[in-house]
Structures are given as C-alpha cells and as structure tokens.
Chains A and B, each alone.
Chain A
Amino acid sequence: MRILISCVLLVILSLGLVFALEQAPFGSNQIDNADKPGRFYLNQGMEKTGAANVVTSVVVTYRGFDTLGEVTILFIAAIGLGAVFHSRKKVKRYEKEKQSASLILQTGCRFLFPLIVLFGTYVFIHGHLSPGGGFQGGVIIASAFLLLFLGCEEKKIPMKSMNTVESLAGIIFVGIGLAGLYWGESFLENFLPRGMDYMLLSGGVIPIIYIAIGFKVGAELAGIVAGLIERNP
C-alpha cells in the first residue's frame, strides 16, 4: 500500500516537473524573453562596463554598493566568531585525543593544496569573463585551507598575516570606490581605461575589485575555519 502511494506521488511529482519545465525556454535566446530591466542589462551591460559576464557587471558596478555591504556582513560575522572564540582561555584537554591524519590524506593535501589555490585564483581573476567571481574563488581558496587544517597539521597558518591581507583587501575595495568618487562622478565608478573586450585586462576596475573580494573572502573564511578548529569542542 505504501509503495503504491509513493509510486503515485512520484508519478504526480514528475508530471508536475515536466509540465513546469516545459514552459522554460531552454536553449533559446534569453534576451528576447527577458523583461524590460533584464533586457537593458543584457544589452547594455557589456557596452557600459566592459565585463563579458553580465552577472559580474551587475554585481560589481550596478549594485557595487550592495556588494560592499555583503563583504561587510561577512567581515562582521568573522569578527563576531572571533570574539566568541577568543573570550575564553585556550582549552587544552582535547589535545591528547587528537590523532594525526593518515598518509593518504597528508599526501593528498600536500599535492592538492597548491592546485586548489590556483583554481580559486583562476576563478576570481577571470570573474569578469567567465562564470565565477570573488566570492566563489574566495570560498574555493578557503576550502584549500580547510584541507590544510585537516591534512597537514604540522603546517601552521600565520593568522596574523591572514588578518592583514583581509584588512588590506577591504581597504582596497573602499579605496577604489572613493577613487571613483574623486576621478569620476559616483562611488565605485569605473575610472580606469576599459581595455579590450573579452581580454583579461578589461573592464577597468572590475577585476581589481574582484581580486580584492577574492582575497578578503578567502582570508575571512579561512579565519572562521581556523577559529572553529582551534576551539575543537
């Protein structure tokens, strides 16, 4: 009986999915189907900002102020976590139960760590050309540091310099915004030359901002992971 009911439910669900997805225009030109603001960004975004990735042109230029807010939220979250974890004395009683990682994990960590960092760097440097960007690349770099925490415990990560990198990246972001206010007309305005479209050096300040965001997010999330592991509850 239960099997019958579940089969009927599955059939209903799959029919619903089929009918819902039938309406979606897969593979067709999305510009014609977009509504008016969407069409504006798809048509004009590339010309105005020089970023081949429309999502990036929206995230970094059209609503760059909002992105600054997002980065600030992450920063405040990291600070809050640090405040919670540093308010007590370092707990030592879990030290003796800790066991070192196996040979497979250590070797894999040593081999994969530079490659993952390279991939994360690629993702945020090409944020204005291909899918991806500062947040995604930063998270990939933070996952590399998580692997380092798991696999190579003898390698100490210098948290002081991580914090310095994070603060510097935030200062660069705000500084570029203020420079846009000084040389241009508004906060975060593109004051650098556009460069050639579809090349790595294009889009003016967009790649610089995304590189700063990538460093900031990566350092912040790695710091959060380090704080959680240090507590080791």
Chain B
Amino acid sequence: MHIAGMIAIGIGVLFLFLGSFGIVRLPDVYNRLQAGTKCTTFGCLFAVLGVGIVEPAWFWKALLVSLFVLLTNPISNHALGRAAKKSGVPLWDGSVVDKSRDFPSYANTEKL
C-alpha cells in the first residue's frame, strides 16, 4: 500500500515537472496553457491520490481535493485561453490549425 502510494506520488511529481518544463520551453501562450493545465491536473491528481493511498484515513478528503482540481483547473485554463484569443494574442508561427476561425464570435480578433 505504502509503495503503491509512493509510486503514484512519483508519477504525479514527474508530470508536474514535465508541466513546468513545458511552460519554460513551449513557444506561445496556447501551448504553454496546455502544458500548464494538462500536466498539472494529472500531476496534482496523482500526487493527492497518492497521499490518500499512503494515509488511508485521508483517502476521502484526498478524493474530494482531486475532484475539485479536476473541476476547477480546466475551467480556469479555458477562461485564460479564451481571454487570450479574444484579446488578440497571436498564435505561434509554426501552428498548423486554428479552429477558432470557424466561429463568428472570434472573427474580429485576428488583426489586433
């Protein structure tokens, strides 16, 4: 049980490290948001659940915390990305796809 929890915490820490690495290395806002949200959500989930496995008395609290991380982190990422797109932050030059052009509400944000 202890070892399983430690392995889960290790996976979480690894993903958190990769997320922070991605924030430094990736080229533009949208890619960095991806690194900063996907990796931290997954990493937090595993780290917190690992703590819950190591200490069985805290398991339900850890489950609640991970549920809230799972709920709030993508919402904040969505809000940040949408605000960046609406205020006209350009995509990286090497980007290959921009699905927001299909939606009329994003139409006048290109030239800013």
Q: Taking beta carbons and an 8 Å cutoff, which residues of A are in contact with B?
A: 99, 101-102, 104-105, 108, 111-112, 115, 150
Instruction: Give the dominant DSSP class at A's interface.
Output: helix
List, in ascending order, chain B residues with CB within 8 A of A112's CB.
71-72, 75
Chain B interface (Cβ within 8 Å of chain A)?
A: 68, 71-72, 75, 78-79, 82, 86
Q: In the complex, A104 Cα to B80 Cα: how many Å?
A: 12
Q: Bound complex: CA of A108 vs CA of B79, how far in Å? A: 11
Q: Which chain A residue shows the least CB distance to B67?
A: A115
- Alpha-carbon gap, A105 to B82, bound state (A): 10
Q: Identify A104's interface contact among B68, B75, B86, CB under 8 A.
A: B75
Contact across chains for A101 and B72 when beta carbons are under 8 A apart: no
Q: Are A101 and B86 in contact (CB under 8 A)?
A: no
Contact partner, B82, options A102, A108, A111, A115, Cβ 8 Å: A102
Task: Decide: B72 and A104 in contact? CB cutoff 8 A.
Answer: no
- Given A101-B79, A102-B78, A102-B79, also A108-B71 (CB < 8 A): yes
B69–chain A nearest beta-carbon distance, Å = 12
A102-B82, A108-B72, A111-B71 known; 9 new pairs, CB 8 Å cut-off, are A104-B75, A104-B79, A105-B78, A105-B79, A105-B82, A112-B71, A112-B72, A115-B68, A150-B79
Determine the residue in chain A with the shortest Cβ distance to B79: A105
Complexed CA–CA distance, A104 and B83 (Å): 13
Q: Identify the 9 closest CB pairs spanning chains A and B, nearest first.
A: A108-B75, A104-B78, A105-B79, A102-B82, A104-B75, A105-B75, A99-B86, A112-B72, A112-B71
Which residue from chain A places its CB closest to the CB of B72 in the assembled complex? A112
Measured in the bound complex, the distance between the Cα atoms of B67 and A111 in whole Å is: 13
